[in-house]
């Protein structure tokens, strides 16, 4: 079984992750992890914090000369901003007499519900962990998953579909593979350069208005073999696992697989993918509205999932809230925040999708080493070719 945990507060010393269940003899290059961490930091619309951080991974365990040992991997990313927060966030030592507790919960954040649930008087005890800073750790874990998938010819891409009300023309999975560099190098991660300009202007306007924007991104996985995930039990269905993983990203409020919500308004004849067969190629679908999944099982077509992100909740234009000490109303003031983080969230989306596909691949192929997995895949593909 593959599993991981993350730990770490946004302004604490570091973020950590422990990853267990990787096969032995898998090449994992920390430089590749750093590349993914940098991609997450780049999207258009980010605020002041990204100017401080330069995320880099340290691998503390589980790797020897860039090769996995089969033992748990420990990853650490230091928070550069911690040095500005030692007085408020030091894990050890005594609390200062004037701690300057946060008693004003911000709407749209975990602040109030978290403080109530955990009996905490200082909202900082909640917000530090609820922050999307945590997604840096998940992107590091996802980067390791991507390394594993790449060893099996599977690749993960993403593109931004819309920012606020501005929609972009998206690339098909095949076009996306070919033109990925264009998407990667664009600040909004959209290949539609006309829409991208409009999106940037829209983000600038939201920022100037003291407002924020959400949007939709798409993650595509190419090269997935038939048969990952399973119909036999609810928690083995890969569509459910992917949806859960995407929904667990901070600010994600909706997930679609394939045609998604659009399928609900179309007749069945315009939704279901007809089946074809060609010698050498085997079975295929004439269309891919199912997004590569039927019955919770991959069907050999590219995986296509979309996630909707709400607008960033911290606004320069203040929202009303209530102080937890005296219940007096106030308007939440902000020092710094992202105005739009959809392009960054798309990278997090790639990471969590890569992880879930890697888990399903591992479940399908078993084994303890990369070689054993590869032999099992070959055997399975041979079996498939006979059907
Ligand atoms: C990459 C990324 C960056 C984010 N940056 C901010 C930010 O700067 N300010 C903010 O208020 N929320 C930001 N968020 C969203 C909040 O973390 C999130 O809305 C909040 O923790 C509440 O969780 P929920 O929206 O999932 O309910 C960001 C989310 C992501 C994925
Ligand atoms: C630090 C990151 O994102 C942060 C997510 C976030 C939030 O409330 O979710 C709030 C901001 O942090 P701060 O309060 O320190 O300005 C973002 O910068 C990151 O993505 O690495």
Query: What is the rounded average pLDDT for all residues in the chain?
Result: 96
Say which DSSP state 85 is in.
T
Compute the distance between CA of residue 263 and CA of residue 256 in angstroms, rounded to an integer.
10
Residue 42 in contact with ligand 2 by CB distance below 6 A: no
Binding residues for FMN: 129-131, 250-251, 295, 310-314, 336
**Confidence band for 95, pLDDT divided at 50, 70 and 90:** confident
Q: Is the pLDDT of residue 203 over 90?
A: yes
Compute the distance between CA of residue 319 and CA of residue 176 in angstroms, rounded to an integer.
39
* Local structure of 159: helix, strand or coil: strand
Which ranges of the chain would DSSP assign to H, the alpha helix?
30-42, 49-52, 86-89, 111-118, 124-130, 135-151, 173-178, 180-185, 193-208, 238-247, 342-365, 370-385
- Nearby residues of 262 by Cβ (< 8 Å), 6 or more positions away: none
* Local structure of 236: helix, strand or coil: helix
Measured in angstroms, how far is the CA atom of residue 191 from the centroid of ligand 2?
26
Residue 336 in contact with ligand 2 by CB distance below 6 A: yes
Question: Which DSSP helix (H) or strand (E) runs through 4?
Answer: strand 3-7
Please give the backbone phi and psi of residue 64, each rounded to the nearest 5 degrees, phi first: -135, 115
Contact 187, 200 (CB under 8 A): yes
Contact 49, 81 (CB under 8 A): yes
- Selection from 208, 28, 184, 25 nearest residue 17 by Cα: 28
**Distances from the Cα of 148 to the Cα of 20, 23, 359, angstroms:** 13, 9, 10
Q: Is the pLDDT of residue 156 over 70?
A: yes
Residue 122: CB atoms within 10 Å: 17
Compute the distance between CA of residue 346 and CA of residue 161 in angstroms, rounded to an integer.
10
> What are the pLDDT digits (tens) for 27-58?
999 999 999 999 999 999 999 999 999 999 99
Considering every ligand atom shown, identify the ligand nearest to the alpha carbon of residue 344 and give its number: 1
- Nearby residues of 202 by Cβ (< 8 Å), 6 or more positions away: 163, 164, 165, 166, 213
Q: Which of 54, 133, 249, 310 to mutate to test the pocket of ligand 2 (most atoms within 8 A of CB)?
A: 133
Residue 249 in contact with ligand 1 by CB distance below 6 A: yes
- Nearby residues of 295 by Cβ (< 8 Å), 6 or more positions away: 231, 237
**Number of domains into which the chain is organized:** 1
> What are the pLDDT digits (tens) for 302-354?
999 999 999 999 998 889 999 999 999 998 767 788 999 999 999 999 999 99
- Joined tokens for residue 16: 């950590």
> Averaged over 160-171, what is the pLDDT?
98
Residue with tokens 């109303």: 329
Q: Which residues of 148-159 are buried (b: 16+ CB within 10 A; e: fewer)?
A: bbbbbebbbbbb
Compute the distance between CA of residue 125 and CA of residue 339 in angstroms, rounded to an integer.
24
Residue 109 in contact with ligand 1 by CB distance below 6 A: yes
Please provide the DSSP assignment of 311-341 as one string: PPS--SSPPEEE-TTT--EEE---S---S--
What integer pLDDT is reported at residue 333 of this predicted model?
67
Residue 220 in contact with ligand 1 by CB distance below 6 A: no
220: CATH: 3.60.150.10
Instruction: Please report, rounded to a whole number, the percentage of residues in the chain having pLDDT higher than 70.
Output: 100
Closest atom of ligand 2 relative to the 335 alpha carbon: 16
> Averaged over 195-203, what is the pLDDT?
97
Is the pTM higher than 0.90? The answer reads: yes
Residue with tokens 């099982």: 297
Range of the domain at 357: 3-386
Instruction: Please report, rounded to a whole number, the percentage of residues in the chain having pLDDT higher than 90.
Output: 94
Please give the backbone phi and psi of residue 195, each rounded to the nearest 5 degrees, phi first: -60, -40
ipTM here? 0.99
Please provide the DSSP assignment of 211-251 as one string: ----EEEEEEEESPPTT-S-SSSGGG-HHHHHHHHHHTSTT
Please provide the DSSP assignment of 16-34 as one string: EEEEE-PPBT-B--HHHHH
């Amino acid at each position: 079984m593959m599993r991981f945990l993350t730990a770490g507060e946004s302004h604490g010393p570091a973020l950590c992750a422990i990853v267990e269940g990787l096969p032995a003899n898998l090449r994992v290059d920390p430089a590749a992890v750093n590349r993914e961490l940098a991609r997450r930091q780049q999207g258009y619309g980010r605020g002041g914090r990204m100017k401080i951080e330069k995320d880099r991974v340290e691998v503390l365990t589980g790797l020897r000369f860039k090769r996995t040992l089969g033992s748990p991997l420990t990853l650490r990313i230091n928070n550069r901003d911690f040095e500005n927060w030692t007085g408020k966030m030091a894990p050890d030592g005594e609390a200062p007499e004037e701690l300057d507790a946060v008693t004003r919960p911000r709407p749209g954040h975990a602040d109030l519900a978290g403080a109530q649930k955990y009996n905490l008087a200082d909202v900082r005890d909640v917000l530090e962990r609820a922050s999307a800073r945590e997604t840096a750790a998940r992107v590091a874990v996802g980067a390791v998953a991507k390394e594993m998938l790449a060893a099996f010819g599977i690749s993960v891409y993403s593109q931004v579909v819309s920012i606020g009300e501005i929609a972009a023309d998206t690339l098909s999975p095949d076009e996306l593979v070919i033109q990925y560099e264009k998407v990667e190098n664009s600040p909004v991660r959209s290949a539609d350069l006309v829409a991208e300009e409009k999106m940037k202007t829209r983000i600038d306007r939201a920022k100037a208005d003291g407002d924020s924007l959400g949007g939709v991104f798409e993650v595509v996985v190419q090269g997935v073999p038939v048969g990952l995930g399973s119909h036999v039990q609810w928690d083995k269905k890969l569509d459910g696992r992917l949806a859960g993983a995407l929904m667990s990203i901070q600010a994600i409020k909706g997930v679609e697989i394939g045609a998604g919500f659009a399928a609900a308004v179309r007749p069945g004849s315009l939704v279901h993918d007809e089946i074809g067969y060609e010698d050498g190629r085997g079975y295929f679908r004439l269309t891919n509205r199912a997004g590569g999944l039927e019955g919770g099982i991959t069907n050999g077509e590219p995986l296509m999932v979309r996630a909707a992100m709400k607008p960033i909740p911290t606004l320069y234009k203040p929202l009303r809230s209530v102080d937890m000490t005296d219940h007096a109303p106030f308007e939440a003031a902000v020092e710094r925040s992202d105005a739009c983080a959809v392009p960054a969230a798309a990278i997090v989306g790639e990471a969590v999708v890569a992880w879930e596909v890697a888990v399903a691949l591992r479940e399908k192929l078993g084994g303890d080493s990369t070689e054993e997995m590869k032999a099992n895949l070959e055997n399975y593909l041979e079996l498939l070719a006979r059907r």
